[in-house]
Every structure is written in C-alpha cells, then in structure tokens.
C-alpha cells in the first residue's frame, strides 16, 4: 500500500494543484488522505473544494478552520480562541463559500482509521482527547499545539492506539519513531516554504512502514497578489504568522 498525505491546504489552489499533479505523475499512489484545513487563511476556497471533492481517490477529514467557518454557516457558536484572530476573515470565507459544499463540509469526519496488513494507521488533523471527539468546535476540542519533539508527541497522543499517527495543524514537519508508534506531519501544503508546497508519501509493505516528505516548487505570486486584489480581511496577521 502506498498513499499520499496532504494537509493544511488553507485555500491555496496553486499549491494544491502542484502537489496533486506531482502525485498523479508518480502513477503508483493508491490513495490520498487529506487531513483538513482546506479552507481559511487563503482565499481560493471554492477552487480548492472543486478540486478535492472531484477526486475519487481522496479521503478527507475536517480541520479546525473548516469547522470554524462552518459554525458561521450553520449559525452555531464560534470558537472563542479564534475570535480575536480569524473571525472577520472567516466571515469573508463564509460569504464567498459556494453553498453546494455546505453538506459535504458538514459531513467530514474528524478521524479516519485504517488497517494495512498488520499496521493500524490513524489520520487526524491534530490531537483531540477521546472524550472530546464529538464535542463541537466552540468547545475547543483540538489540543493546544505543542513543541515538535518525540517526547511531546508521546504525551500528546498517549490516548491513541495506532502504529502510525498522521496529522497536520502545526505546519512544521514532524517525523518521530518511538518504536511503538510513528508520528508524521508532512507540513502544510498551502503555507510552507515560500514558493514550495509539501506532502507526504507512506509505503507499507510486509509490515514495514517507509515515509518520505516531498517538496514541490510552484509559482505563488498569484496567490499572494490575491489578498490585495480581493481585499481579504486579516492579511497582516496571515502574512506575519503564515507567509
């Protein structure tokens, strides 16, 4: 089994297209797992959703930005921890979100669990304590981001049982093997390394797990110009923290 992992596209269509084109060129990838935060921060929401929901080889879970935007769509409580940072930006995303995607976004799971041979793989946007897996986004179910170390990952995911835990959310690459579990975050597709997008490749063969991180060059100028051209709220914060 060989699968790709993409996460944190964040409304950056050009980065997503570059990654998916690279995956398709390989010709030997069985499945793509998309770990959420496809919308928010970037401004190409509908183009991203058009692309990911049109594929039949991709399974998708929800990220915190996806759920926060949908709380506005659904008129349910918005998470307090994002109000000072992203509320106006998420309102802008909501106002530009194609209604055809409401149901699909609302139906995204938070977790995907798979078994390949004897290896159990958990796909999750970031740690959510087991007792919080069904809690609404305003209850802030996602754990605070912790430092990218093996010890921190052991503590963070101590309630999860899997041979490989694949996640996103923290846009920094993680690859740790504590002999009981492997923890892998390839980094953000849409907000990473300037004019480069990143993703992961995982091969499981005869109970051996092999992992690669792939870095793909793309032209990010149109994406950056779009913040001014579309008058996207929150540009200063986004450029300072993410770009």
Give the model's confidence band at 193: pLDDT under 50 very low, under 70 low, under 90 confident, else very high. low
pLDDT in tens, 140-175: 999 999 999 999 999 999 999 999 999 999 999 999
Q: What is the pLDDT of residue 77?
A: 98
- Within 8 A by CB and 6+ apart from 7, the residues are 34, 35, 36, 37, 63, 125, 167, 168, 169, 185, 186, 187, 188, 189
Give the model's confidence band at 192: pLDDT under 50 very low, under 70 low, under 90 confident, else very high. confident
**Measured CA angle at 144 (ends 139, 150), to 5 deg:** 145
CATH class of the structural domain 2-241: alpha beta
Give the three-class secondary structure for 3. Answer: strand
Q: What is the pLDDT of residue 241?
A: 84
What DSSP string runs through 166-195?
Answer: E--SS-S-EEEE-SS-EEEE---SSSSTTT
Residue extents of the structural domains in the chain: 2-241
Which spans in 80-177 are helix H? 80-96, 102-106, 150-156
What percentage of residues in the chain have a pLDDT greater than 90? Answer: 95
Largest Cα separation within the chain, whole Å, is: 52
Helix (H) / strand (E) element for 120: namely strand 119-124
Residue 206 has pLDDT above 90, yes or no: no
Give the three-class secondary structure for 59. Answer: strand
Give the three-class secondary structure for 123. Answer: strand
How many CA atoms are closer than 13 Å to the CA of 135, on its beta-carbon side?
16
Closest CA to 9 of 206, 191, 142: 191
CA gap 136, 59 in Å, rounded: 22
pLDDT in tens, 109-144: 999 999 999 999 999 999 999 999 999 999 999 999
């Amino acid at each position: 089994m060989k699968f790709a992992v993409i996460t944190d596209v964040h409304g950056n269509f050009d980065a997503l297209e570059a990654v998916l084109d690279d995956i398709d060129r390989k010709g030997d990838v069985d499945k793509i797992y998309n770990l959420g935060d496809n919308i928010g921060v970037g401004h190409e929401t509908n183009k991203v959703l058009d692309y990911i929901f049109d594929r039949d080889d991709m399974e998708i879970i929800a990220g915190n930005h996806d759920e926060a935007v949908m709380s506005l769509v659904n008129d349910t409580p918005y998470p307090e921890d994002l109000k000072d940072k992203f509320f106006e930006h998420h309102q802008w995303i909501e106002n530009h979100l194609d209604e055809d995607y409401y149901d699909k976004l609302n139906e995204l799971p938070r977790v995907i669990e798979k078994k390949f041979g004897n290896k159990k793989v958990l796909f999750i946007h970031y740690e959510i304590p087991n007792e919080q897996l069904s809690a609404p986004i305003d209850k802030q179910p996602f754990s605070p981001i912790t430092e990218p170390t093996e010890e921190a990952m052991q503590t963070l995911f101590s309630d999860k049982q899997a041979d490989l835990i694949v996640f996103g959310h923290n846009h920094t690459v993680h690859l740790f093997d504590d002999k009981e579990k492997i923890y892998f975050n390839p980094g953000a597709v849409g907000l990473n390394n300037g004019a480069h997008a990143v993703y992961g490749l995982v091969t499981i063969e005869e109970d051996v797990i092999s992992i690669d991180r792939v870095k793909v060059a793309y032209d990010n100028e149109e994406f950056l110009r779009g913040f001014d051209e579309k008058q996207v709220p929150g540009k200063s914060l986004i450029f300072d923290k993410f770009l």
